[in-house]
A = this chain, B = another copy of it.
Amino acid sequence: MRYSYINNLECPKCSKQYSAEEIQQLCSCGSPLLARYDLQSLKNDIHKEDLQSRENSLWRYHEVLPVLNEKNVKTLGEGMTPLLALERAGEELQLYKLYLKDEGLVPTGSFKARGAAVGVSKAMELGVKELAMPTNGNAGAAWSLYSAKAGIRAHVVMPLDAPEITRKEVSISGGKLYLVDGVISDAGKITAQLIKENGYFDASTLKEPYRIEGKKTMGYEIAEQFGWELPDVILYPTGGGVGLIGIYKAFLEMQELGWINGPFPRLVAVQAEGCAPIVKAYVEGKKESDFWDNSETKAFGINVPKALGDFLVLEAIYETKGCAIAVSEEEITNAQQFIAKSEGQFICPEGAATVAAADKLRESGWIGTEERVVCLNTGVGIKYPDTVDYKARYMEKIHH
């Protein structure tokens, strides 16, 4: 029994094949590469019931992850996050089967830990010593921390407006931090320059093929946590879109494994009105998105003007009969406060955007009141202190 059933890497655009035992980046055609597994063998070797007794992390799905040797797994306990029924919030929103998957309960407080755990472990297995990447903050923090554990040197380029705490996460873990007064595409250009000059491994979103493998485990977990009966709708805050692509990939794999049946959940890409390239492409029925100029939103993780994997995001939406929807800054703030007051969860603005979107889609009738709906909260609210105010009563000391 192999620890990983990975076969190779494949280009989803031109179908060219690549070895998974050497360092790879993009396909020669410019597309991201996707990992392919020997699912037919795995189907015979493992049954989904075998998973029950496994460790409580995303590594319970190690056969469909790319790390060949278990000793190369660098884990901080990431994965198997709570899937919570939002009873009070659901009642108010008239979504009577509303759930939130809380990705705040992972190392680094953000779902980026999933991609970093798998991406860094595989990079180490392949002999990477030094890597570079652009980030809106959380991914860079996660990659820097996991790289520290793996003994890899990380170079992280982020916009000045990224959450300040993520600078400190990079710095304290020994990563080299670069700041630029721009958006993530500006950070991307600087990263490309650093890589060209120094030969670092390019860990940019989808330019390395394994981060998505970590992210896809959200799809496996949702299926397993629902007893392999998939929900009707999954709402995902979409910047680079890797999680949404990953969840869709997980469903395709599980279908081939015979672990799930019936229609897939309708996947919804949620964006902010100030940065909605996927929504625009969806509304226009296009297969790729255009660069979104002067993008702006407090949900900083989804401030991505043009995603490399946009065509895969749109494919996942179209194939699952999903949709893409934008929400306003005010709707994000209101949803964040609403969930804190009704459910006791201080979620991040990106996660709040999915709750706001669920509300709008229920109002429009696109989501039915009895459908099973999962909102993905991609991180803790505490990483974004500036998005929240407070009121306090100042008291005098009592002397006695």
Knowing A380-B109, A381-B172, the reply to whether A390 touches B148 (Cβ < 8 A) is no
Are B340 and A397 in contact, CB atoms less than 8 angstroms apart? no
| Identical chains in the assembly | 2
Mask for A185-200, Cβ within 8 A of B = 1, else 0?
Answer: 0100110010000000
* A340 to B170 Cα, complex, angstroms: 9
A311 at the interface (CB under 8 A from B): no
- Interchain nearest-CB distance for A66 vs B (Å): 19
Q: How far is the CB of A381 from chain B (nearest CB, A)?
A: 7
CB A59 to nearest CB in B, in angstroms, measures 11
**Contact (Cβ within 8 A) A170 B390:** yes
Are B397's CB and A148's CB within 8 A?
Answer: no
Pick from A105, A157, A164, A337 the residue with the most CB of B within 10 Å: A105
Tell me how far the C-beta of A233 lies from the nearest C-beta in chain B, rounded to whole angstroms. Answer: 21
Name the one of B56, B340, B392, B395 contacting A167, with C-beta atoms under 8 angstroms.
B392
Are the CB atoms of B77 and A385 closer together than 8 Å? no
| Chain B residues with CB under 8 A of A341 | 148, 172-174
- CB closest chain-B residue, reference A169: B346
- Closest-CB distance, A339 to chain B (whole angstroms): 9
Q: Known contacts A186-B398, A398-B190: does B344 contact A76 (CB below 8 Å)?
A: yes
| B190 in contact with A391 (CB, 8 Å) | no
In the bound complex, do residue B171 and residue A389 qualify as a contact, i.e. CB atoms below 8 Å apart? yes
Q: Does A354 contact B (CB under 8 A)?
A: no
Q: How far in angstroms is the closest Cβ of chain B from A252? A: 27
Chain A 100-126, CB-CB to B under 8 Å as 1, else 0, gives 001011111100000000000000000
Q: Say yes or no for A394: interface residue by CB 8 A criterion.
A: yes
Chain A 67-86, CB-CB to B under 8 Å as 1, else 0, gives: 00000001111001110100
Does A178 count as interface, using CB distance less than 8 angstroms?
yes
B residues in contact with A80, CB < 8 Å: 56
Given the known interface contacts A77-B84, A169-B382, A388-B172, the answer about A190 and B395 at a Cβ–Cβ threshold of 8 Å is yes
Residue A44, interface by CB 8 Å:
no
Give 23 pairs: A residue, B residue, CB < 8 Å, sorted on A.
Answer: A74-B344, A75-B84, A77-B105, A104-B107, A145-B344, A146-B344, A148-B340, A148-B342, A148-B343, A149-B343, A168-B388, A168-B389, A173-B346, A174-B340, A174-B341, A176-B393, A177-B390, A178-B392, A180-B394, A180-B396, A186-B397, A190-B395, A380-B380
Q: Which 8 A-B pairs have the closest CB atoms?
A: A77-B82, A149-B344, A171-B390, A145-B344, A189-B398, A148-B344, A172-B340, A177-B392
